[in-house]
A = this chain, B = another copy of it.
Amino acid sequence: MNSFNWQITKHSSTSRARTGILTTPHGQINTPAFIFCGTKAALKSCSVTQAKENNAQIILSNTYHLMLQPGSKIIAEHGGLHKFMNWDGPMLTDSGGFQIFSLGHGSVADEIKGSKTPKPKSKLLIKVTEEGALFKSYIDGVTHLLTPEKSIKIQRNIGADLILVFDECTPFHVDKKYTADSMYRSHRWSKRSANRFEINKDFNKCEGSAGPQSLYGIIQGGIYEDLRDESIEFNINSGNFFGLAIGGSLGSSKAQMYQIVEYIASKLNNKHPVHLLGIGEPLDIWSLVKWGIDTFDCVSPTRLARHGSALIKTKFGKINIKNSIYKENLNPIDINCNCSTCSNYSLSYLHHLFKSEELLGLQLITSHNIFFMNALMSYIRKAINEDNLLKAEKIWYES
């Protein structure tokens, strides 16, 4: 019996939006779904118990960070990442590529926020060759070579349910020729990743702790539609992949990101769950689900919380608890929110915690933001199932 399955349960009649069930050995994910970032095998300021209480379905960890600290071997000795961090639900790891190249060039999310000038090239990324990526550890400066084979071996040790091929996350500021060459190399890396993945598919000879895992391919091609077409064809025809992720550069503005993601998604069939790497602000999600994106990951819910920002149902999307207007406000963040933070704490108390530099403030806002994202996704799923997504979006911002 295959412990992985992807099933679309409902199509919207007005867009490519769909609900689905993504089955993994650690449980089912109702899609569209938000994947929360537990970069270093921990959600920021949030226990797995709190994440579960706030309806989180799936957590992502980063191969790049975990290979450097604590190393995948000790995770495997625990019986894998689930046991290491005490999360028994579905998990995903990226391949390490995204992080290495983000540290080298700046992240895709930074780029679409309009940073037209490339970041000064970081000294952490040394060089990219056919073999793999040579980089320095951000912790101690030690040089590491990550190859497709090593990335998969490490992800096997870590043992997340869903794992990704190794790729170069091509930046925006390069020309089309670089983007194309990089894409072809990532395709070759993709094949090597899939070959390495196949070696231990029976898990009898598994070097690590992994139980059954499924592999995602990554669609490259930057902002060039013809390259994206080629990459889609490559990924679908390879037959290697359970899921597909949209990677690489998404342009230098939100408009460009929207355009290219809509284009890519429109070319995909229904056979694979589709993941968009590193993008997932609430305002974006409404558009992205309409184009057929099934899962999102973004550090924003927990990162915003650390800066005192609580997510709310407005186009602006958040309030900052540190603002003195909340000093004497006895209301919760959102009077209609059922999260434990909104049920038990006033804006005034949360403001006090931030003024007093009490770490509890980070916990409480993080809990709210996780609950909020899951409430948004649940609301969107219901709207798709009831086929009234457009109306639901209006109501969301009016309520």
Contact = CB atoms under 8 A, between A and B. Distances in A.
A188 to B, nearest CB: 33
Contact of A348 (B43, B44, B70): B70
Contact of A46 (B69, B74, B346, B360): B360
Interface in A57-85: 65, 69-70, 74, 77-78, 84-85
A147 to B, nearest CB: 25
B362 A359 contact: yes
A328 B359 contact: no
Interface string A3-42: 0000000000000000000000000000000000000111
Contact of A355 (B44, B49, B70, B359): B70
Nearest to A85: B349
A328 B74 CA distance: 6
A364 B69 CA distance: 19
A143 interface: no
A132 to B, nearest CB: 24
A45 B353 CA distance: 11
A252 interface: no
A220 B65 CA distance: 55
A59 to B, nearest CB: 12
Contact of A40 (B42, B358, B362): B358
Contacts of A364: 47
A178 interface: no
Contacts of A346: 78, 84
A174 interface: no
B355 A69 contact: yes
A42 B351 CA distance: 12
Contact of A360 (B47, B351, B360): B47
Nearest to A68: B356
A43 B86 contact: no
A255 interface: no
Contacts of A136: none
A330 interface: yes
A191 interface: no
A397 interface: no
Given A47-B364, A85-B349, A86-B344, A356 B69 contact: yes
A-B residue pairs, 10 tightest by C-beta: A42-B358, A86-B344, A70-B352, A40-B356, A42-B360, A45-B359, A74-B328, A84-B349, A69-B356, A74-B348
29 contacts: A40-B356, A41-B349, A42-B356, A42-B358, A42-B360, A42-B361, A43-B360, A44-B358, A44-B359, A44-B360, A45-B359, A45-B360, A46-B360, A47-B360, A47-B363, A65-B356, A69-B352, A69-B356, A70-B327, A70-B352, A70-B355, A74-B352, A78-B330, A78-B348, A78-B349, A86-B344, A86-B349, A359-B359, A359-B362
Given A47-B363, A86-B345, 6 more contacts: A42-B353, A42-B360, A44-B360, A45-B359, A46-B360, A363-B363
